[in-house]
Amino acid sequence: MSSRPVVAVVPAAGSGERLGAGRPKALVPVAGEAMVARAVDGLLASGSVDAVVVVAPAANLAEMRAVLPAGVDVVPGGADRVASVALGLDAVGDAGVVLVHDAARCLCPAAVTAAVVDAVRAGHGAVIPALPVADTVRRVDTAGRVVGPVDRTGLLAVQTPQGFAPDVLRRAHEAAATSPTASRATDDAGLVEAVGGEVVTVPGDPRAFKITTPLDLAMAEALVGAEVRR
């Protein structure tokens, strides 16, 4: 087992327009604590993460640093998510495992993070937590007419943190830097798949949902409140 550290990159440079908060989404409080701070706290609480790099909007670096624990590195982000993660990757140093974790999945349980790290340590180059798709899914045409059902067998909803061997993730981002379609990638595992890399899954958790809308935020605050009352 490698003794090199596990470093998490947390892309937190999004504007959060769908949340309608009028500030970077990662700075929106969830039950009194900034979303990004809850995400970082959860990573560190797993006992599997040695260091965290937060990628923030260039105009909000000081605000980000003010809400984060001492020792968390904060670097300016890029024009899109792919560029921001690449900038965070430049700051991870000699990591043995790199995680990429959305700040908006700030209630992800520590056990999920630990399972992802363990799988990378076991020799997998790319690991994602995922859950079976529960909703009924239909395929529609451009006019919105239903054209048929979608078989859910083998379909999974992907979460973060996603874990990688550093060379695997760097190779994927190097390829993405010259790809005109890279900005459309929704996660780093997709970049790895695009260069022919194998991605494996570990069980995700419903609490690792992504806060995108005001309803998501209300659900997150309710979950935090329920946990506090236990």
Helix, strand, or coil (residue 67):
helix
Nearest 5°: CA angle at 198, between 151 and 127?
85
Task: Read off the pLDDT of each residue in 21-36 and give the average, rounded to a whole number.
Answer: 91
Q: Which two tokens stand for residue 55?
A: 């990628």
Strand (E) or helix (H) holding 10 = strand 6-11
Would you say 118 and 127 are in contact if contact means Cβ atoms under 8 Å apart?
no
Mean pLDDT rounded to a whole number for the chain: 93
Phi, psi of 30 (to 5 degrees): -115, 110
pLDDT band for position 53 (cuts 50, 70, 90)? very high
Domains contained in the chain, CATH given = 6-229 (3.90.550.10)
Name the token pair of 62: 């000081």
Region of 8 (left: φ > 0; alpha: ψ -120 to 50; beta: rest) is beta
The CA-atom distances, in angstroms, between 63 and each of 28, 34, 137 are 11, 10, 41
Give the pLDDT confidence score for residue 228 in this predicted structure. Answer: 63
Nearest alpha carbon to residue 132 among 158, 156, 150: 156
Tens of pLDDT, residue by residue over 91-116, are: 999 999 999 999 999 999 999 999 99
pLDDT digits (tens, 9 = 90+) for 203-218: 999 999 999 999 999 9
pTM of the model: 0.93
C-alpha to C-alpha distance for 227 and 107, rounded to whole angstroms: 11
Higher pLDDT, 184 or 89: 89
Quote the distance between the C-alpha of residue 78 and its chain's center: 16
Residue 183 has pLDDT above 90, yes or no: no
The DSSP letter of residue 25 is G
Contact 86, 173 (CB under 8 A): yes
Share above pLDDT 90 across residues of the chain, in percent, rounded to a whole number = 84
Smallest CA-to-CA distance from 84 within 60, 58, 109, 66 is with 58
